[in-house]
Structure 1
Amino acid sequence: MSKADILFKRAFDIVASLAGVLLLAPVIVLCWLAATIDTRSNGFFIQKRIGRHGRVIRVCKIKTMYPSNTQRSPIASRNLASISQSGRFLRKYKLDELPQLFNVLAGSMSFVGPRPDVPGYADRLQGEDRIILSLRPGITGPASIKYKDEEVILAAVDDPETYNDRIIWPDKVRINREYFNNYSLLRDLRYIFHTIFG
């Protein structure tokens, strides 16, 4: 990925996220209201994730789980029982991701890139794999598309943590390195189209 690629990618993110916020603001408000009523708490969920250059960012989503006083597992399949009624609908249609348009507009995320991971994964990348950290994390991307049913996959194995660490995570790193090395705006548009309509 060249410096020109980075500039064009950021320009696209600014224009598209601004348009998205303006067009989808009513939908975001309705989703927030539904989540607020269902979970009886603030319908926005803000979580610390690892962003560009390994810096911690705050990612905003619509809340899809009931509040809990206990620490949840970073493996999503471990938390399925906590998903709210509205959360199942929001997750099915990816509506819980819409507030990340504000992250894209602010520059902490991109439309396409590696998913922003919880601490303990991306921030521990070594060697050539650290090239991934030069990318802004994305709402979608080739790894996200391949593992769109990740929760189902992990729920079907005996040891989700080990399977994630040994199989899924290394494969995501490989896919994201290929994304960096073969970047094009046309591919980004295809990933976005596939995420929305695929």
Structure 2
Amino acid sequence: MTAVIGHTAALRREALARPASRSLRFLPGALILLDSAVIATAAGLSSFLEDGMPLFDPQAHDDLAGSTTGPLLVLGWAMVIALGGGYRRQVLGGGSDEYKRVLNASLAHTGLLALILFITQADVSRGFFLLLFTLGVPGLLLSRWGARKLLQRARSAGHLGVPVLIAGSPEHVDDIHGVLDRTAWLGYRVIGAVTPPGDASHTVGGVPVVGTTDDVARAALQSEAQVILFAGGGSTSAQDLQEKVWQLEERGIDVVVAQSATGITISDRASFRPVGGLPLMHLGAPAWAQATRIGKRTFDVVGALGLLVAFSPLFLFIALRIKLHDGGTVLFQQSRVGRQGVPFRCAKFRTMVVDAEDLLAALHVATGYDGGLFKMAHDPRITKPGRWLRRFSLDELPQLWNVVRGDMSLVGPRPPLPHEVARYDVAARRRLHVRPGMTGLWQVSGRSDLSWEHAIRLDLYYVDHWSMLQDLNILWRTLGVVIMGRGAY
């Protein structure tokens, strides 16, 4: 017993001795203050617009308009967000989960407040109630978006990062390191690798090896890492991984497990049910099944028709510009592969010389092309008007008609060429479960600057984690990418 107590005390001392990340320390508290300020502003403005500010009037004696009601309303809303996990460090800084939690908590608070008002029979105008959440919910989401942008900018500049060790085989370590290096705004600062026993001091990608997977906890403590990311090869079995996670948890070290470490994509459709003391993971309907239903299709058709009408003057201008340049055809149609492998003709404004296809083989030889998506930063086949069309993705506007026809979606994986599909492995073929999109995660994550492997990974993530909220987020981010012209050539 004495030995156990001594061991536990030693673990606590180890955890306390490790410096805490500044971002992890102040971020949840700062967001609580920010949310409280937004809620207070929404409540005060709603009260002013409805009754001339009785909510914060100390002379008011109504149940809701009393002097303590305003602070209680703010505190209650922030508390529901906290209970909904809206301030958890794991959801802050990236992904749509943070927005989902804030939105769901706000809706729950709306229902809870309505129930309290009904039970107490408080004399509250419907106008105030409606204004409060009409102003409060968008205000919270917008403020969270602004806070995230500031955090991501600071992390991209090298501040507020979290030291991370990657545990896995050297190949998987380099793969994960490449992803984290391209997404510096997430704040994961790779300080080393933990690999199976060997003599290498660095991985091929240059990540220093600071320990072996036999003793991950020791390596984490010696390097002062705050997060261990398990990739493929980081453990020899599920039991081995579980034991390592226990050791790290005892020392206060956060654990992240990449899909490659388990071979299973765990998403919102996963639920756990204990059976005889054994937690079994049940997988519900895949997310891509939802992405093929009528809601998304209706959104696509309405959105595409609206954009076709809005951009009709621009269509005419572009068509005239292309025709006057060299007298060739305005549109270029290419065979692409759609949902479930069905081919279709994908339309674009022509941006290359009329004999571009005949010159392709020579360019393959000159550039050492060996498969995947062929892109050149300075393709000699691109015409003068084609350069600015590509820079702002205006050449893809005719694909709106493909969306109306049902060949494509506004958001989805990049539409592949037939010879690319012929090279797909079993995993890559999952991209074909949904309609290809005019934009997608590949578009807002680097476009032509992405490697083939990274583009495939992004598409598979989209297929396995589809949601309507994610589609809206991608469309919003696409606007910024197109305006800036990043990664387009």
TM-score range, shorter chain: 0.7 to 0.9
Q: Secondary structure at the match of 1:139?
A: strand
Distance 2:458 2:290 in 1: 22
Measured after TM superposition, the shift of residue 125 of structure 1 is: 2.2
Distance 1:17 1:180 in 2: 21
Q: Secondary structure at the match of 1:58?
A: strand
Q: Give the aligned partner of residue 162 of structure 1.
A: none
Q: Give the aligned partner of residue 190 of structure 1.
A: 473
Unmatched segments (≥5 aa) in structure 2: 1-286, 365-372, 482-489
Measured after TM superposition, the shift of residue 147 of structure 1 is: 2.9
Q: Give the aligned partner of residue 55 of structure 1.
A: 342
Measured after TM superposition, the shift of residue 89 of structure 1 is: 1.2
Measured after TM superposition, the shift of residue 126 of structure 1 is: 2.6
Measured after TM superposition, the shift of residue 35 of structure 1 is: 1.0
Distance 1:49 1:2 in 2: 20
Task: Give the aligned residue type for 1:48.
Answer: S
Is 36-45 or 105-114 further displaced after alignment? 36-45
Distance 1:127 1:76 in 2: 25
Distance 1:86 1:2, change over 3 A: closer
Q: Give the aligned partner of residue 424 of structure 2.
A: 125
Distance 2:288 2:308 in 1: 28
Select 2:462's aligned residue among 159, 165, 179. Answer: 179
CA contact (8 A) 1:142 1:191 kept: yes
CA contact (8 A) 2:291 2:434 kept: no
Distance 1:51 1:123, change over 3 A: farther
Q: Deviations over 1:13-61 (max 9, x none)?
A: 0110011111111211211111121132111111111111112111111
Query: In the alignment, does 2:353 pair up with 1:66?
Result: yes
Q: Give the aligned partner of residue 381 of structure 2.
A: 82
Q: Deviations over 1:60-86 (max 9, x none)?
A: 111111111614256131871111111
Select 1:44's aligned residue among 331, 338, 341. Answer: 331
Q: Give the aligned partner of residue 158 of structure 1.
A: none
Task: Give the aligned residue type for 2:345.
Answer: R
CA contact (8 A) 1:39 1:65 kept: no
Task: Give the aligned residue type for 2:477.
Answer: H
Distance 1:62 1:92, change over 3 A: same
Distance 1:49 1:78, change over 3 A: farther
CA contact (8 A) 2:288 2:434 kept: no
Q: What's the RMSD between the two structures over aligned residues?
A: 2.0
Query: In the alignment, does 2:395 pair up with 1:96?
Result: yes
Query: In the alignment, does 2:266 pair up with 1:15?
Result: no
Q: Give the aligned partner of residue 136 of structure 1.
A: 435
Task: Give the aligned residue type for 2:456.
Answer: V
Task: Give the aligned residue type for 2:465.
Answer: N
TM-score (norm 2): 0.35
Is 134-143 or 2-11 further displaced after alignment? 2-11
Distance 1:124 1:32 in 2: 35
Q: Give the aligned partner of residue 415 of structure 2.
A: 116
Greater Rg by CA? 2
Greater helix percent: which structure?
1
Q: Deviations over 1:117-170 (max 9, x none)?
A: 2222134423243221011111110022223243xx7xxxxxxxxxxxxxx222
Task: Give the aligned residue type for 1:196.
Answer: L
CA contact (8 A) 1:54 1:123 kept: no
CA contact (8 A) 1:113 1:137 kept: yes
Distance 1:61 1:189 in 2: 23
Distance 1:26 1:114 in 2: 28
Q: Secondary structure at the match of 1:82?
A: coil
CA contact (8 A) 2:414 2:459 kept: no
Q: Percent identity?
A: 31
Distance 1:78 1:3, change over 3 A: closer
Matches within 5 A, 1:22-37: 22-37=309-324
Q: Secondary structure at the match of 2:455?
A: helix
Q: Give the aligned partner of residue 6 of structure 1.
A: 292
| Corresponding residue pairs, total | 182
Higher relative contact order (CA 8 A, sep 6+): 1
TM-score (norm 1): 0.84
Q: Secondary structure at the match of 1:6?
A: coil
CA contact (8 A) 1:9 1:185 kept: yes
Measured after TM superposition, the shift of residue 197 of structure 1 is: 2.2
Q: Secondary structure at the match of 2:376?
A: helix
CA contact (8 A) 1:39 1:84 kept: no
Task: Give the aligned residue type for 1:18.
Answer: L
Distance 1:196 1:95 in 2: 12
